[in-house]
Amino acid sequence: MEHKKAKRPVMVTRSSLPPMEEYIEMLKPLWESAWLTNMGDYHEQFKTRLKEYLGLERLELFVNGHMALELTLQALGLEGEVITTPFTFASTTHAIVRNGLTPVFCDIDPEDYTLDTAKLESLITDRTSAIVPVHVYGNPCHVDEIGRIAARHGLKVIYDAAHAFGEEIGGKGIGQFGDASMFSFHATKVFHSIEGGAVSFSDPALAPLLYQLKNFGITGYESVDYVGANGKMNEFQAAMGLCNLRHIDGEIAKRKALAERYRERLSGVKGIRLCPERPGVKYNYAYMPVVFDGYHKDRDQIFAELALQDIHARKYFYPCINACACYRDRFREEDTPVAARVSRQVLTLPLYADLDPDTVDLICDTVLR
C-alpha cells in the first residue's frame, strides 16, 4: 500500500520570520551608524521591550542562552554540587560543569518530565549550593515546592526556561520564579533573535556583574576585574528580536491551534501518552512530545515510518545527559530510571506556526495507522 508523502521535507521545527521588508527597514540605521554590537540602540530597546512583555523588572541580554546560563552561575558564585535534571539539552549540564561545579541528577516526574520534587530533598547535602530545574517542552516546573525546599536549605534556584518564553503560572510570568531564569532565543525556539538569550534575576546586585561578565570582565577603560567571556548580543540579533516580538502572540496562537489538532487526533489512544495541561498555566506550545508506552509500535519504528514520508520528528531528549559519552564515566543512567525510560519512548512531532494542518493530519494518520 502506497502512503501519502509530505509536499516537502517537514522538519521538527521551522523558524518564524517577520516580513523581510520589516527586518530590512530595521537594518538601515545600522549602516548609517556602523554601531553593530557592544550594547547599541537596538540592544537597549530590545531589553526594554522584553521586560515589558515578560513582566520582568530585571533582565540582561546575551549572545545565546547557553552563555546566559553559564555566566549567571558564575555571577552567583556557586560552589560544590548543583542538583539538576538529566532530561534536558546538553547545555544545561555543560554550564554547570564548565563552572567547576558537580551536577547531581534528580529523576523526573513521569507526568510532565520536569524535575521530580518528591526525590529532590533526598539529594541535598552540605555541598549543595543550588538547584537548576528545567521547564521541559514548556511544561513549567513545580515552582512552589521547589521554592519551599530551596528556602528550607538556603539554596539558589536558577531555572532553565529555554522552552518557556512568554509562559505564565497563575498570571505570573515564568521568569519571576527563583533567583534567576535563562531564556533561549535560538532560531528553533517559539521566539527567536536568530541566536540569543537572556537572564531574568531577582537580586539587583547581579545587574552590573552580569553586564561585566558578558564583556570579558571589563569594569572600566583600564580595568578587567573578572574572568569573563564574550557573551554580548549584537545589533542584528536585537533587530530580529524586536521584529519577532511584534508578531509573537499571533505565532503562539497558530501553534496552539496545531497542538489542539494533535491532541484531538492522538488523545485517548492506548499506548500513547501526551503531557497533561495544568490549570492556571499559560502555555506557549513550544513542542509536541508524544510518549509511546505500550503502543503496538515503538518510538523508533514510528520515527522511521515518518522519515520515509520526509517527515522528520526528533528523539528529544535522547540519550539522557548522564548517558552521554562525555559524562558516562562519571554518572549512571540507571540512577534516574524514569528519565532513562522516557528518553527511549519520547518523540517530538513537528510543530511550528506555519505548519500545514493537513500535514498534522498526515503525521497523525501515520502514527495511528
Q: Which domains does the chain have, with CATH numbers?
A: 20-242 (3.40.640.10), 248-368 (3.90.1150.10)
pLDDT tens per residue, range 144-176: 999 999 999 999 999 999 999 999 999 999 999
Residue 8: pLDDT band (50, 70, 90) is confident
Q: What is the rounded radius of gyration, in angstroms, for the C-alpha atoms of the chain?
A: 21
Task: Write the CA distances from 138 to 58, 134, 297, 315, 332, integer angstroms.
Answer: 22, 9, 27, 17, 26
pLDDT tens for 282-315 read: 999 999 999 999 999 999 999 999 999 999 999 9
Tell me what pLDDT residue 6 has.
67
pLDDT, tens digit, 9 for 90 and up, residues 244-292: 999 999 999 999 999 999 999 999 999 999 999 999 999 999 999 999 9
Average pLDDT, the chain: 97
Average pLDDT over residues 44-65: 98
In this prediction, residue 5 carries a pLDDT of: 66
For 174-229, write each residue's pLDDT tens digit: 999 999 999 999 999 999 999 999 999 999 999 999 999 999 999 999 999 999 99
Q: How confident is the model at residue 1 (pLDDT cuts 50, 70, 90)?
A: very low
Question: At which residue does the C-alpha cell 564548565 appear?
Answer: 98
